Each structure stands twice: as C-alpha cells, then as structure tokens.
Amino acid sequence: MIVNNRKHGIFSVPEEARQLSYNQDNKHSTITIKDALTNVFQQMRVSGNRERTIESYNYIFKQFVDMTQIQYVEDITLDSIYSYLDALNVSRETKLIRLKSLKAILSRFHNNGWVQKKFWSTIQIKIDKKVKKGTAEEDIKKLITLIDQSTFIGLRDTVAILMMYKTGIRIRTIGELLEQHIDFDNLCLNLDGSIMKNHNYLKLPIDDELANMLKALIYMNSRIRSYYNRNNTNVFITQNGCSLNSSKSSNNAISKQLNKYSKIYGLENINAHALRRAYAKDLLNKGASVPLISKALGHSDIAVTTQYLELDVDEVANDLRKYI
C-alpha cells in the first residue's frame, strides 16, 4: 500500500512509488554479452552478412570477453577496451583490425539501445600505412607464359588470373561465378547481389580474349563434371569437378595456386588482392575517374577505393611535375 507524504501533500511522490516508477538510469535493461551477441549476429544474418564475417566478429569479441572477464554489456568501458588492446601481443596493424571489429559490434549494441553513448569512438590506433602495390603488368604476362595451359588446372588458373586482372572481381566472387553470369553475346558479366560482397548488382565488360578463354574453360568443366558425375554450373571448379568455395574461407584453390606460382617463379605480388589493385590502377592510368573505378570494384565507400589507388611519394612527385 502506498501512503502519501504529508509534507508535500497529494503532489508528493512517496518512496514506495518512486521505487516503482520509471528510472532514467535503468532504462537500459541489463543484458549479458552472450545474449547481446546472439541477437546481433542474428540481425547480421537477416541483413545478409556473410557467415565468415560473423565468425570473425565472434572470435574477436569472445577474445575481448575472455581477457577482460566482463559478462554484461553495461560493464564495457574505455578502460576495459584499452586493457584488452594493451594485452594483445600483436602488431599495431592487427590491433587496429581488432579495434575496428569491437567498434562495429559495440555500435550495434548502441543501435539496439543497450549502450547509451558511443564512448569507444575516441579510441584511435595510429599506424604508418604502407602502400600496397598491385601486380605489375609485366609479371602478369610473364606468369601466363609460364603456366602450362595444356592442363585443366593451368587453363583454369590462367583464366582466373585474367578475369581478376581485367574485371577486378574478388577471389570469393571467382569461386561463386556461374555460367549464367556470363553474357557472351554482349561480352559482359552480369553479377547479381548473391555473389557480391556488397550484395549489389554489377555489370562488367569483358574482351574477346577473355570471352574465348572462358568458353574453353566451360567446355573443359563439362567434361570433368561428367566424368565425376558432378552437378553444378560454376565457371571455376576443382580438378574433381567441385565448387571452389567449399569452405567459408576466401583462401580457395586458386588463391593457393597463386601463392605457389609466386614462390616457384620468384614473382612478387602474385595474389588475388594485388591483381584487383592492378585492375584499379590500370583504370586510373587510362583516365578513369575515381567514382567510376569505385563502381567497377563494387565498393560501397569511395574512401576504400582511394586506398586502392594510393600512390607512393615518387609517383606523386612525377604526376605533380606535369602541372608545374
């Protein structure tokens, strides 16, 4: 039973009622980090995030929880994040990656109303960014001449290298590319959102050389699938006729082959990401605008594209000399 406070009359809120009333400080219900992550990851799946991305976030946040022994969302503080980062025996670049993952999950906590303020936004890790080079055109040409294209693996790898260099598509997309995505009549790739990292439709042109090599590869694929009784329409398959992307990792068979070629032939920057950068740099050298290159790469943020096109100091000086 609630009794009125005589001092302030009917307008006074008694202690018993104050305990029952809405408390601004407690409007965010206590939630365990485990439950919060379960909800967030479910939201990410519904939004279309890849399972590989979710697993990465889960690994990093679980590491943070294990090292700080925090159980509830409301107990996460600046000090706990700094303590976690200080305890990591990794490079500053790796710490930056871990911090970005923490911030991404904490932002979702905030969006769900479990955290009032984005206090983590002030945390910064400064690193000296290294200019990542794209594969040199001469190295690409040299590699193609060295690969034995009389074998299925050699033909497949050569077509994959040319595909990444001439279209800039990701290694993961290479593994998920289907025959239906290739329009030979109009010489273009029609990439639907299901195989794109940003889930947006993208149309990219291809030249006659690449189109003819793709036709040869598709012919070989049909023979191999028939022999092993496989049922798929993937453009790039294993020597046993299976899909390349059998695991959640982006390190598929072609990626491993590129690493092997780099070691065998002593060529630098022979990897999927370097080939993608080479495509972007080639477009820039041919006069394409940064927004156009960003669209071609399937980037959601043009800032990512500018990182792809980052020039070293000598290139900047040489380009500026044209305007003196």
- How many angstroms separate the CA atoms of 115 and 99, rounded? 17
Asked if the model's pLDDT at residue 6 lies above 60, the reply is no
Residue 25: pLDDT band (50, 70, 90) is very low
- State residue 3's pLDDT score: 45
The pTM of this model reads: 0.63
113-122 mean pLDDT: 91
Checking if the pLDDT of 21 tops 50, the result is no
CB 313 within 8 A of CB 324: no
Q: Read off the pLDDT band of 133 (50, 70, 90).
A: confident
User: What is the structure's pLDDT at 222?
Assistant: 96
CATH number for the domain whose boundaries are 137-321: 1.10.443.10
Q: Kindly report the average pLDDT of the chain as a whole number.
A: 85
What pLDDT sits at residue 129? 62
221-271 pLDDT per residue, tens? 999 999 999 999 999 999 999 988 765 445 688 999 999 999 999 998 899
Structure-token match 């290139």, residue found = 315
Beta strands in the chain (DSSP E): 182-183, 188-191, 202-205
- How many beta carbons lie within 10 A of that of residue 228, not counting itself? 13
Tell me, yes or no, if the two domains 33-122 and 137-321 fold the same way: no
Tell me which residue has tokens 């022994």: 69
Is 44 within 8 Å of 241 (Cβ atoms)?
no
> Encoding tokens for residue 111?
């969006």
Domain ranges of the chain: 33-122, 137-321
CATH topology of domain 33-122: DNA polymerase; domain 1 (1.10.150)
Specify which residues 39 forms β-bridges with: none
Q: Averaged over 304-310, what is the pLDDT? A: 73
Classify residue 129 as left (phi > 0), alpha (psi -120 to 50) or beta: beta
Residue 122 neighbours by CB under 8 Å, 6+ apart: 78
Among residues 282, 287, 262, the alpha carbon closest in space to that of 272 is found at 262
